[in-house]
Amino acid sequence: MTNSAEDLRLWDAAASAYAGHVDGPADTFYRRVSGFLWDRLGVVQGLDVLDLGCGHGWLAEEMRRAGARVAGIDGSAALLAEARSHYPAIDFEQYDLTRGLPRPLRQYDRIVAHMVLMDIPTLDRLLADVAAALRPGGVFVFSILHPAFFSRAIVDEAPDGERYRKVTGYLEHETRWIESFGGHHHYHRPLSWYVERLVRCGLAITGLHEPPALPGADIPETHWTDYQKWFSTIPTMLALSASPFEPFPSPLRRTLG
């Protein structure tokens, strides 16, 4: 039993606010991870790329412009309507990702999920399908809100005391309510859960990126206050890349076995 129908209703209701606020490549969250993301994607010219949880489609369009054959999947009809109206050249499909990927399973060279996985209540089928849908040498790259530090209260006892984020119950799986864009659910899982689940699906971690939290969209670092410098040192986003692996090369397995 998951909340995905309710989640998707909330995303439909949020669609125009979200699409109006998240202005594609200029978005503050994207700017933090774009270097890592494109480094892991490499040259996408001629590759089959899936934008998982593509929302209103702006990242799918970035990858199409870079020469990839792009498909986008999302569960929100309203966000997909925005995507289709702006980017008619891209194949967008509506699908509830708690069910995994649509059948028949297509094969991809790259699968991207930017700011999506923490919004989905169950990931078991999806991660297994991502692993099965990647061609050999393929890459899965995703960004999420940082499980340890995002939405942890800031405690500020300066100038005499400390500033810190108050981390409690980190290892608990929790459903939280995020106010942005009219509100939606956030499904907290510790980082070790993601790593363990990816490995169990046959995906080896090839990179982990914790970008500094940017205090403001356009404030140059040279102008940051002490508070903003401190703020930047605790990451509120995390990005990971992973690729299919053979758990043990078979000769080694024979030796061990």
Ligand X SMILES: C[S@@+](CC[C@H](N)C(=O)[O-])C[C@H]1O[C@@H](n2cnc3c(N)ncnc32)[C@H](O)[C@@H]1O
- 138 sits near ligand X (criterion: CB under 6 A): no
Considering the complex, state which of residue 30 and residue 231 has its C-beta at the smaller distance from ligand X. 30
Between CA 8 and CA 74 the distance in angstroms is 9
Between CA 10 and CA 239 the distance in angstroms is 25
- 109 sits near ligand X (criterion: CB under 6 A): no
Considering the complex, state which of residue 114 and residue 209 has its C-beta at the smaller distance from ligand X. 114
- 7 sits near ligand X (criterion: CB under 6 A): yes
- Evaluate whether 35 touches 237 at the Cβ level (below 8 Å): no
- 58: tokens are 């702006």
153 CB burial (10 A radius; 0-12, 13-18, 19+): exposed
- 72 sits near ligand X (criterion: CB under 6 A): no
- 11 sits near ligand X (criterion: CB under 6 A): yes
Considering the complex, state which of residue 74 and residue 129 has its C-beta at the smaller distance from ligand X. 74
Q: Please name which of 53, 203, 214 lies closest in space to residue 134, comparing C-alpha atoms.
A: 203
From 50-58, 132-140, 146-154, 193-201, give the range in contact with ligand X by CB under 6 A: 50-58
Q: Which residues contact 173 (CB under 8 A, 6 or more apart)?
A: 187, 188, 189, 190, 193
Considering the complex, state which of residue 25 and residue 216 has its C-beta at the smaller distance from ligand X. 25
From 49-57, 62-70, 205-213, 236-244, give the range in contact with ligand X by CB under 6 A: 49-57
Residues in the site for ligand X, rule: CB under 6 A?
4, 7-8, 11, 22, 53-55, 59, 74-76, 79, 96-98, 114-116, 119-120
